[in-house]
Amino acid sequence: MTSKHADLCYLSATELLRHYQRKTLSPVEVTKAVLARIEAVDRHVNAFCLVDHDAAIAAARTSEARWMQREPRGMVDGIPATVKDLLLSDGWPTLRGSKTVDRNRKWSEDAPAVARLREEGAVLLGKTTTPEYGWKGVTDSPVTGITRNPWDTSKTPGGSSGGAAAAAALAGPGMPGMPGMAPGLEGMAALAPPEEEEDDILDTMIDITRVEGRVRASSLRKIGEIVDKHPEEAVSILRNWMYQDQG
């Protein structure tokens, strides 16, 4: 990876948006840099269970065209984002870290949070690891193995959003980070890890609680945003989720 690509991976989402507005950076350029970073360092932490290079570049190109016309789709147009492998994503299997899920079934739906990301122009890179069905405070599964903390690979990034946290925190020694956002779910404190883990994860985690009509199992969790030490970015995207059921 060139030093130019590495520098791009240090930029926050809000900084990227300013560059897009000024046409000093392109979503395609940024997406290629982030994909190169994933290829270079993910083998050390195992944050991703799926990376879709072709879809990410295609989404970045359409975002680039919108920015060239000064018509961005939404507040995160062109920003790289990941999806936790508990959230349905059109075109990608959602295995939930389990061998009991049929990866060959039809995957044609987006979870509401994923739909909001697409509607606002985010560039979805792929899916991040989770423990089996998300019910554990560390991230390992029969499907993906162990996900490790980028700052100290002898430690865990927590769970069940450990893959999302590891991806956002890829700014450890020798592993500079990458810009972007990742939805996280809190069933067992994934968005609020124990105090002794917080210094290891080094993310900003902001959460909201969603209630949709009758309270159902999926609504007993919190859904929030994991970003790399930039809370203003989490606030922007959470606004999108909060209006999804209005109107």
User: CA 45 to CA 156: how far, in whole Å?
Assistant: 10
- pLDDT-based confidence at 177, cuts 50/70/90? low
- pLDDT-based confidence at 181, cuts 50/70/90? low
What does the longest C-alpha to C-alpha distance in the chain come to?
52
Domain boundaries, the chain: 3-242
Burial of 188 (0-12, 13-18, 19+ CB in 10 A): middle
27, 110, 82, 32: which is closest to 226 by C-alpha? 82
- Report the C-alpha dihedral over residues 215, 221, 223, 224, rounded to 10 degrees: 140
Can you tell me whether residue 206 is helix, strand or coil? strand
208, 51, 204: which is closest to 129 by C-alpha? 51
**What crossing angle do the helices spanning 53-68 and 27-45 adopt, rounded to 10°?**
150
Strand 80-84 with 123-128, pairing:
parallel
pLDDT at residue 172 is higher than 80: no
Mean pLDDT of 194-216: 41
Instruction: Average the pLDDT over each of 16-30, 43-57, 133-147, 182-196 and give the range with the smallest value.
Output: 182-196
Superfamily of domain 3-242: Amidase signature (AS) domain (3.90.1300.10)
Q: What are phi and psi of 13, to 5 degrees?
A: -60, -40
Q: Between residues 175 and 77, which one has the greater pLDDT? A: 77
Q: What is the mean pLDDT of the chain?
A: 78
Q: What is the pLDDT, as a whole number, of residue 44?
A: 92
DSSP-based helix, strand, coil % in the chain, nearest 5: 35, 15, 45
User: CA 39 to CA 54: how far, in whole Å?
Assistant: 14
Mean pLDDT of 170-195: 51
Burial of 51 (0-12, 13-18, 19+ CB in 10 A): middle
Mean pLDDT of 11-40: 92
Q: How many CB atoms lie within 10 A of CB 133?
A: 15
pLDDT at residue 24 is higher than 60: yes
In order of 6, 37, 175, 199, 235, the CA distances from 154 in angstroms are 25, 21, 15, 14, 32
7-11, 36-40, 101-105, 237-241: range with highest mean pLDDT: 101-105
User: CA 121 to CA 132: how far, in whole Å?
Assistant: 30
Convert the pLDDT of each residue in 81-91 to its tens digit: 999 999 999 99
Q: What is the pLDDT, as a whole number, of residue 167?
A: 87
Q: What is the pLDDT, as a whole number, of residue 194?
A: 44
Which residue, chain included where needed, has tokens 């989720």?
A: 241
pLDDT at residue 159 is higher than 60: yes
Q: What is the pLDDT, as a whole number, of residue 67?
A: 97
Instruction: Average the pLDDT over each of 29-38, 60-69, 144-153, 182-191 and give the range with the smallest value.
Output: 182-191
DSSP string, 99-155: TTS-TTS------HHHHHHHHTT-EEEEEE--SGGG-SSS-EETTTEE--BTTBTTS
Q: What is the pLDDT, as a whole number, of residue 61?
A: 98
Mean pLDDT of 154-177: 75
Convert the pLDDT of each residue in 103-131 to its tens digit: 999 999 999 989 999 999 999 999 999 99
- pLDDT-based confidence at 180, cuts 50/70/90? low
